[in-house]
Chain A
Amino acid sequence: MRIIVCLKQVYDLAQLRYKSDGRTPLLEGLPVQLGAFEKNALEQAVRFKEAASQEPASEVEVVALSAGSGKLQETIKEALAMGADRAALVVDPALSRADAAGTARALAAAIQKLGGADLILLGEGSDDEYTGQIPSRLAALLNLPQITIVRSLELVGRLVRAARDLEHELEIVECDLPAVVSVTSELNSPRLPPLSAILRAGRKPMQAWSLSDLGLSADSVGGPAAQIEVLSNQAPAQARKNVMLEGEVDRQVEALLAALEREGVLP
Chain B
Amino acid sequence: MSGVLVWSESDHLAEELLLFAGAHRGLLGPAYAAVFGEQATARAEAYRSWEAVRTYVSEAVEPTDEALAHTLAGLAEHLQVQLVLLGATRRGRATAPRLAQILGAGCVSEAVELALEDGQLITSRYTLGGNTLARERILTARKVIAAVPGAVGAAPGGLDPQAPGETPGEILPLPFEPLESRARVVRREPKPAADADLAGSERLVCIGRGLERAEDLPLIRNLAEALGAELACTRPLSYEYGWLPEERMLGISGLRPSPRLMLSLGVSGQVQHTVGIMGSKVIVAVNREASAPIFRLADYGIVGDLYQVAPKLAERLRQRSRGRTSDPF
Residues of A within 8 A of B (CB): 11, 13-14, 16, 23, 25, 36, 99-101, 104, 124-125, 127-137, 139-141, 145-149, 161, 163-176, 179, 182, 184-186, 189, 226-236, 240-245, 249-250, 252-254, 256-257, 259-260, 263, 265-267
Residues B133 and A235 in contact, CB atoms below 8 Å apart: yes
Measured CB to CB, the closest approach of chain B to A45, in angstroms, equals 19
Residues B97 and A136 in contact, CB atoms below 8 Å apart: yes
What separation, in Å, do the CA atoms of A100 and B129 have in the docked complex?
16
Residues B203 and A25 in contact, CB atoms below 8 Å apart: no
Contact of B90 among A167, A233, A265 (CB under 8 A): A167
Contact of B107 among A227, A243, A249, A256 (CB under 8 A): A227
Residues A234 and B133 in contact, CB atoms below 8 Å apart: yes
Residues B203 and A173 in contact, CB atoms below 8 Å apart: no
Residues on B with C-beta less than 8 A from A234 are 132-133
Residues B128 and A249 in contact, CB atoms below 8 Å apart: no
Residues B239 and A186 in contact, CB atoms below 8 Å apart: yes
Residues A25 and B128 in contact, CB atoms below 8 Å apart: yes
What separation, in Å, do the CA atoms of A217 and B62 have in the docked complex?
37
* The 10 A-B residue pairs with the shortest CB-CB distance in the complex, in nearest-first order: A227-B106, A140-B101, A133-B97, A175-B183, A145-B182, A136-B97, A148-B94, A267-B228, A136-B98, A265-B261
What separation, in Å, do the CA atoms of A209 and B102 have in the docked complex?
27
What separation, in Å, do the CA atoms of A174 and B185 have in the docked complex?
7
What separation, in Å, do the CA atoms of A147 and B183 have in the docked complex?
7
Residues A233 and B133 in contact, CB atoms below 8 Å apart: yes
Listed residue (B95, B189, B296, B317) with the most chain A CB atoms within 10 angstroms of its CB = B296
Measured CB to CB, the closest approach of chain A to B13, in angstroms, equals 11
Residues on B with C-beta less than 8 A from A104 are 101
Residues A260 and B321 in contact, CB atoms below 8 Å apart: no
The secondary-structure label for the interface of chain B is mixed
Measured CB to CB, the closest approach of chain A to B11, in angstroms, equals 14
* B322 interfacial contact with A, CB 8 Å: no
**Segment of B18-26, B33-41, B164-172, B280-288 in the binding face:** B280-288
* B211 interfacial contact with A, CB 8 Å: no
Knowing A132-B110, A145-B66, A165-B253 are in contact, say whether A230-B90 is a contact too (CB < 8 A): no
What separation, in Å, do the CA atoms of A146 and B97 have in the docked complex?
12
Measured CB to CB, the closest approach of chain B to A125, in angstroms, equals 8
Count B interface residues, CB 8 Å: 88
Knowing A173-B184, A265-B282, A267-B227 are in contact, say whether A189-B240 is a contact too (CB < 8 A): yes
Residues on A with C-beta less than 8 A from B136 are 228-231
Contact of B133 among A131, A166, A236, A259 (CB under 8 A): A236
Knowing A170-B188, A240-B299 are in contact, say whether A185-B127 is a contact too (CB < 8 A): no
Within 8 A of A (CB), among B158-208: 181-191, 202-203
What separation, in Å, do the CA atoms of A253 and B298 have in the docked complex?
16
Residues of B within 8 A of A (CB): 63-66, 69, 89-91, 93-98, 100-102, 105-110, 122, 126-129, 131-140, 181-191, 202-203, 227-228, 235, 239-240, 252-253, 260-261, 270-272, 278, 281-284, 293, 295-305, 308-309, 312-313, 316-317, 320-321
Contact of A130 among B101, B107, B127, B191 (CB under 8 A): B127
Residues B299 and A127 in contact, CB atoms below 8 Å apart: no
Knowing A100-B97, A136-B94, A240-B296 are in contact, say whether A176-B129 is a contact too (CB < 8 A): no
What separation, in Å, do the CA atoms of A176 and B131 have in the docked complex?
39
What separation, in Å, do the CA atoms of A134 and B93 have in the docked complex?
12
Residues A249 and B309 in contact, CB atoms below 8 Å apart: yes
Residue of B nearest to A99 (CB): B106
Measured CB to CB, the closest approach of chain A to B100, in angstroms, equals 7
Residues B65 and A136 in contact, CB atoms below 8 Å apart: yes
Residues B282 and A136 in contact, CB atoms below 8 Å apart: no
Residues on A with C-beta less than 8 A from B188 are 169-172
Residues A25 and B102 in contact, CB atoms below 8 Å apart: no
Residues on B with C-beta less than 8 A from A257 are 313, 316-317, 320
Residues B132 and A14 in contact, CB atoms below 8 Å apart: no
What separation, in Å, do the CA atoms of A125 and B313 have in the docked complex?
38
Residues on B with C-beta less than 8 A from A186 are 239, 253
What separation, in Å, do the CA atoms of A100 and B293 have in the docked complex?
27
Measured CB to CB, the closest approach of chain B to A264, in angstroms, equals 8
What separation, in Å, do the CA atoms of A3 and B270 have in the docked complex?
29
Listed A/B pairs (24) with beta-carbon separation below 8 Å: A16-B129, A16-B293, A25-B131, A128-B129, A129-B127, A130-B110, A136-B95, A139-B65, A139-B98, A146-B64, A146-B65, A146-B98, A148-B65, A165-B90, A167-B90, A169-B191, A176-B182, A185-B252, A228-B138, A231-B135, A233-B135, A240-B298, A244-B301, A267-B321
Knowing A136-B97, A170-B188, A253-B316 are in contact, say whether A260-B282 is a contact too (CB < 8 A): yes
Residues on B with C-beta less than 8 A from A129 are 127-128
Knowing A14-B270, A165-B90, A228-B138 are in contact, say whether A140-B102 is a contact too (CB < 8 A): yes
Listed residue (A133, A175, A182, A235) with the most chain B CB atoms within 10 angstroms of its CB = A133
Residues on A with C-beta less than 8 A from B240 are 189
What separation, in Å, do the CA atoms of A149 and B139 have in the docked complex?
28
Knowing A13-B129, A132-B109, A245-B302 are in contact, say whether A137-B101 is a contact too (CB < 8 A): yes
